[in-house]
Amino acid sequence: MTSALRILDAVSLLLFRLACLLVAAIVLIVLYDVLSRNLGLPTVIWAVNSVEYAMLHITFLCLPWLVLTRGHVCVEVLLTYMPAGLRHYWQAGLQILSAAICLYLTYHTGKSLIRVLASGSYEVRSFDAPMWALYLTMPLGFGLGGLQFLAFFARGESFFGAPPESHAGM
């Protein structure tokens, strides 16, 4: 089981690093777009659409890594005042619910990906983009994110990290 977890973590890290490269590309595209407009250089018509697509993909490429590193948003006020025994079951239930939501969205975004692959449809804007390219990272991110939520059970951890009382009031 530990080798499967290591592979899951390695793939999550790889996708996160890919998302970081997309962030760097966005910075360079926006920088060139702004400079070219102000210096009277030729502008690129694909800049805005490329940044929009990259931001979409960044969201889903980061998801598994954010779950693994507990970078997601969580409000722990209720957990702080909950008895330890109840807190354990509450956390387990939330982990299962989070995984179920991710896997549910994996299924539906996967269906959409297969549908646009079969239809061969394109999004026509400043440049033509195949619709499958827009949907590609959605089932990947949701699926690996759901697996990361379930992996906390295999690791014997909670996705809340430290016990809530250790940082209550911060």
What residue spans define the domains of the chain? 2-167
In this predicted structure, the answer to whether residue 162 has a pLDDT above a threshold of 70 is no
- 62 SS3 class: helix
- Taking only the tens place, the pLDDT of each residue in 135-151 is 999 999 999 999 999 99
- b/e sequence 103-136, b meaning 16+ C-beta within 10 Å: bebbeebbebbeebeeeeeeeeeeeebebbebbb
**Looking at residue 75, what is its pLDDT?**
65
Reported confidence tier of residue 1, pLDDT bands at 50, 70, 90: low
**Looking at residue 166, what is its pLDDT?**
46
In this predicted structure, the answer to whether residue 113 has a pLDDT above a threshold of 90 is yes
- Taking only the tens place, the pLDDT of each residue in 53-92 is 999 999 999 999 999 998 866 667 777 788 888 888 888 8
The angle that helices 47-68 and 137-155 make with each other, rounded to 10 degrees, is: 10
**Looking at residue 164, what is its pLDDT?**
47
Q: Give the C-alpha distances (Å, rounded to integers) separating 168 from 57, 144, 165.
A: 34, 30, 5
Closest CA relative to residue 131, chosen from 142, 118, 140, 143: 118
* Percent over 90 (pLDDT), the chain: 61
| End-to-end C-alpha distance for the chain, whole angstroms | 36
